[in-house]
Structure 1
């Protein structure tokens, strides 16, 4: 799922896929563009609700039921439920200064970045997990400060 220029988010589970599907179909309603989701022309809602067009609806509807008639009814009911789910609605976060990150490393007994890099994989991963728990710290910042790649930090 993506939004604007730099906001994106992986949809990695079937449950979250259904939340995103509902969120997308309810956007015109929540934005006040329409009062009835089923009448909004610029949506794939109609494809899922029984008038298939160009949208590949099988994966989504199979998540509701293997019986297509039942799946369509469940989709319609689910999509029309009131909810407060949010997708890609980021809140402003306060960044963490590099000095705070270094102070936290020092508290864990790591005084230099090279010391962190020389730790065993398991020890290093434990430190990274603890660092990622700091509110406001980003994977990019950790990668820049530690010399450990973003992909490694992300996997940890």
Structure 2
């Protein structure tokens, strides 16, 4: 059974909604536009402020301010309404989204700014396009503007205006920020976490090492918070080998 959502003192949350089984959510621009229409309606109805967003093919990132505690209702209605649209237009039957949603409480100004940059950098990390050329994120609502879905005032005030926002977005990536829900890192951040944990050793290089050198590094990845399946994906080493190496050293 899923535990209660972690609470943010100031109401800021980074939310991720994923397609069930990595299912594609947006097969065309009409689907993306419909999702944004439903989101806009829900924001107004539930009195939630949107600070940043990005639509990827099989998942969605939202950064919100939920002072009135309407977020759960917003996302429930959004998922339900979009699932009806999706099933009707595609002929799909069954669940569209993977569970409820995942969220991380934002606890500082620094983390808030990092989350904005992280969300806008999704198409960059995925190799799709530069952030300023990707049409399905809120980056264009900040630079050059104007805003339509988001409430940009807080973030623009923190970075020093629209011109400064563009420069801020280009400085230093997302400063190591990763989306971590509960005790587990998000799959798309596993490689970043692995590289940080291993330092100068490339994750893919572990496969060629002898066990006496490889196994302590596998344990470092487990200690960093990665699951066995995530380590398998970033290193190419089989799960049984990883489990044996890390269990022996537990």
Q: TM-score, normalised by structure 1?
A: 0.50
- Which has the larger strand fraction? 2
* Higher Rg: 1
Q: TM-score, normalised by structure 2?
A: 0.32
